[in-house]
Amino acid sequence: MKRAFCVFASALNDQSLKLANNMKLISDFKEWKFRSPPSYAKLPIDENPEYNVPVAVKNAVFSKVPVEPLTGALHLVCVSGDALQDLFDLDPKVADSEEFIHFVAGRYLPEGGLTVSHRYGGYQFGYWADQLGDGRAHILGEYVNSKGEIWQPQLKGSGETPYSRFGDGRAVLRSSIREMVASEACHYLGIPTTRAAALVVSDDHKVWRDKTYSGNAKQERAAIVMRVANCWYRLGSLEILLKRAEPSTMRTLVDFIIEHHFPEVHSSSDDKYVKWYTEVAHRNLDMVATWQGFGFTHGVLNTDNVSILGVTIDYGPYGFIDHYYHHYVPNSSDDMGRYAYNRQPDILVWNLEKFAEALELILSEEQKEQIKAVRSTLGEYVKKKVLSTYLLKLGLKQTQDGDEDFVQELLQTMQDTTADFTCTFRQMAEVDPKELLDKSVLEKKWSLDKLLAAGAKWEAWVKKYQDRLTVEGVSEDERRARMLAVNPAYVARNWIMQEAIADAEKNDFEKVRFLMKVLRKPFEVDEEAEKRGYSSQPPSWSYGLKLSCSS
């Protein structure tokens, strides 16, 4: 029935589709059911009953693992009404029901649910780390929405699994807030990403964490974030199957992923593995280009933290750059800066090399050669994508010789003058390029004002920019409109998150919820956000802020 509706709906325009969908919204959460069985039930699932004892799992893609619910009194910290409505066909009001909060806390599983944890490995900081897997996450089931899309909600922080290694299977409030807010914020920016539907915290369920790795562990409250994706496979999902020499499981998994999640590749011919590799690679490189455009730095780009779908996954010690610094490293554990902002495109290419190595286990000699040829193009592919992302931020559409230097000169000047990444581009959209050297105008634009300190260097760049606009024939109205649409006023800056987290620790969730609201429309100026300084110069205490991996 749902599929039939999907065909019908695809013929409607956006507005009537919304109306049709609205009519279908489910307002009684008890009526919301998973598809039964979920498609992933066809894959090999390990049924070891000792689910909470760490073990090296063999010949399986998942382990069947019951959720260990959060205990104690619960608070619903925040909800993404859009995720509920657009992904799950749910009336956001369901979030007021007891069943819903119990659902997020792992206490209530809708009909058709099948709770599993995924087996994967990964290269961490360049070295093979062996089996990792969902050590504290459970996929709950599979929902096929009224648009025919498959969505799998996953709890993070929902108890031990065979993949827990030394961990307790839990997550704390601060990291869960960071994941919740950033997932939705990135979605609204236009970054491909996993989504987040809701977040609960328990007053009574406590865990020990050593946040600064100083030997001083403290008790913190346990929380669960409900994340949502079409599926949860990572590059490391294949890598573990290479390392354990399981070609048959790999073939089953790859064929399954292609059939269920890459229909455009599935329908094509025998060289589907080559097409699939190319698609996975391009999606991930397109994704990293969007990151570069927003100054988003993931922080832990291990191969287990890279989705096969090319969506941002596993938000940990990430950061959006404040004052521009090309080697920005938000993760306090990344001493060598392996995952610095400017290294991200190359790291993705490195990760995709490892992914190709894994896939070779099931490839013919001819396919290996074809994929080798694809691999040799990836560096150039991402370089071009990143460059055109920057040009678009500057309101330019055409590329020409010397563009790379042109962009680099601006970034270098921003770095030299500690100009802000987000606000420089945003303010550049707001000021007529003819006035980019006018002190009286720039005084009112704090980030641009900093650039004036670069003197002749800034003047030379502005001159080039003005010439570029003339050559392209971009009118001022067009330039402004283009730039305002791609340069946000607000991003999930770490200092703003830290303030929201501090309040949330005291059960005051106003700032978290306000952030969710503002970041839903990051390209629109919000009066209250302005008052709170969200597009002002970040406070001095936040300068050089780094985030811990402890979560």
Task: Based on the shown chain and the rule CB under 6 A, indicate whether residue 488 belongs to the binding site for ligand AMP.
Answer: no
Task: Based on the shown chain and the rule CB under 6 A, indicate whether residue 145 belongs to the binding site for ligand AMP.
Answer: no
- CB burial of residue 256 (10 Å; 0-12, 13-18, 19+): middle
The residue whose Cβ lies closest to ligand AMP is: 167
Per CB under 6 A, the list member of 305, 312, 389, 427 interacting with ligand AMP is 305
The residue whose Cβ lies closest to Mg ion is: 314
Task: Give which of ligand AMP, Mg ion, none residue 132 binds (C-beta under 5 to 8 Å, depending on kind).
Answer: ligand AMP
Asked if 301 and 339 count as a contact pair (C-beta separation under 8 A), the reply is yes
Residue-by-residue DSSP string for 91-138 = -GGGGGSHHHHHHHTTS---TT---EEE--EEEETTEEEEE---SSEE
Nearer to ligand AMP, 288 or 414 (CB): 288
Distances from the Cα of 199 to the Cα of 8, 102, 155, 474, 513, angstroms: 34, 11, 9, 45, 11
Task: Based on the shown chain and the rule CB under 6 A, indicate whether residue 135 belongs to the binding site for ligand AMP.
Answer: yes
CB of 267 to ligand AMP, least distance (A): 33
Task: Give which of ligand AMP, Mg ion, none residue 246 binds (C-beta under 5 to 8 Å, depending on kind).
Answer: none
Task: Based on the shown chain and the rule CB under 6 A, indicate whether residue 132 belongs to the binding site for ligand AMP.
Answer: yes
Residues 6+ away with beta carbon under 8 Å from 87:
143, 145, 149, 151, 195, 197, 228
CA 175/CA 223 separation, integer angstroms: 9
Per CB under 6 A, the list member of 80, 152, 164, 290 interacting with ligand AMP is 164
* Residue ranges in contact with Mg ion by CB under 5 A: 305, 314
Task: Based on the shown chain and the rule CB under 6 A, indicate whether residue 299 belongs to the binding site for ligand AMP.
Answer: no
Task: Based on the shown chain and the rule CB under 6 A, indicate whether residue 167 belongs to the binding site for ligand AMP.
Answer: yes
Asked if 202 and 215 count as a contact pair (C-beta separation under 8 A), the reply is no
Residues belonging to the active site? 304
Nearer to ligand AMP, 173 or 258 (CB): 173
DSSP structure class, residue 40: G
Residues 6+ away with beta carbon under 8 Å from 70:
105, 106, 107, 157, 158, 200, 202, 205, 222, 223, 224
Task: Based on the shown chain and the rule CB under 6 A, indicate whether residue 314 belongs to the binding site for ligand AMP.
Answer: yes
Task: Based on the shown chain and the rule CB under 6 A, indicate whether residue 119 belongs to the binding site for ligand AMP.
Answer: no
Per CB under 6 A, the list member of 69, 110, 113, 169 interacting with ligand AMP is 169
Task: Give which of Mg ion, ligand AMP, none residue 499 binds (C-beta under 5 to 8 Å, depending on kind).
Answer: none
Nearer to ligand AMP, 135 or 293 (CB): 135
Contacts 24+ apart (CB under 8 A), 362-368: 362/247, 362/250, 362/251, 362/254, 362/273, 363/273, 367/271, 367/273, 367/274
Task: Based on the shown chain and the rule CB under 6 A, indicate whether residue 54 belongs to the binding site for ligand AMP.
Answer: no
Within 439-458, which residues bind ligand AMP (CB under 6 A)? none
Q: Which residue type sits at 284?
A: N
Task: Based on the shown chain and the rule CB under 6 A, indicate whether residue 136 belongs to the binding site for ligand AMP.
Answer: yes
Question: Rule CB under 6 A: which residues touch ligand AMP?
Answer: 132-136, 163-164, 167-170, 300, 305, 314, 316
